[in-house]
Amino acid sequence: MNTAVLVLENGQVFTGRSFGAVGETLGEAVFCTAMTGYQETLTDPSYHRQIVVATAPQIGNTGWNTEDGESTGSAGSTGVDGDSGKIWVAGYAVRNPTRRVSNWRATTSLEDELVKQGIVGIGGIDTRTVVRILRDHGSMKAGIFSGPALADTDELVGRVRNQPDMKGAKLADEVTTTDGYIVEPVGQHRFTVAAIDLGIKTNTPRMFAERGVRTHVLPANVALDAIADLKPDGVFLSNGPGDPATADDVVELTRGVLGRDLPLFGICFGNQILGRALGRSTYKMKFGHRGINIPVVDHATGKVSITSQNHGFALEGEAGEEFDSDFGRARVSHVCANDGTVEGLELLSGRAFSVQYHPEAAAGPHDAAYLFDKFVTLLEGDRAQGASA
Task: Give mean pLDDT in consecutive 10-residue pieces for the chain, a chain of 389 residues.
Answer: 94 98 98 94 96 97 92 57 79 96 94 96 98 98 98 98 97 94 95 97 94 97 97 97 98 98 98 98 97 94 94 96 97 97 97 94 79 96 74
| Known binding positions for L-glutamine | 46, 240, 242, 269, 272, 310, 312-313
Asked whether the beta carbons of 193 and 204 are under 8 A apart, the reply is no
Q: How far apart are CA 369 and CA 208, in angstroms?
A: 11
Assign 3-state DSSP to the chain and report helix, strand, coil percentages, each to 5: 25, 30, 45
Task: Write out the binding residues.
Answer: 46, 240, 242, 269, 272, 310, 312-313
- What residues are labeled active site? 268, 358, 360
Question: Can 3-161 and 172-388 be said to share one CATH topology?
Answer: no
State residue 75's pLDDT score. 60
Residue 46 CA to its chain's centroid (Å): 4
Residue 388: its pLDDT value, please? 57
The CATH code of domain 3-161 reads 3.50.30.20
pTM of the predicted structure, to 2 decimals: 0.95
- Give the pLDDT of residue 76: 53
**In the chain, where the domains are located:** 3-161, 172-388
Pairwise CA distance, residues 37 & 74, whole Å: 19
- The reported pLDDT for the residue numbered 80 is 35
Element (H, E) at 183: strand 181-183
Residues 6+ apart with CB under 8 A from 331: 299, 320, 321, 322, 323, 345, 346, 348
Q: What is the CATH number of domain 172-388?
A: 3.40.50.880
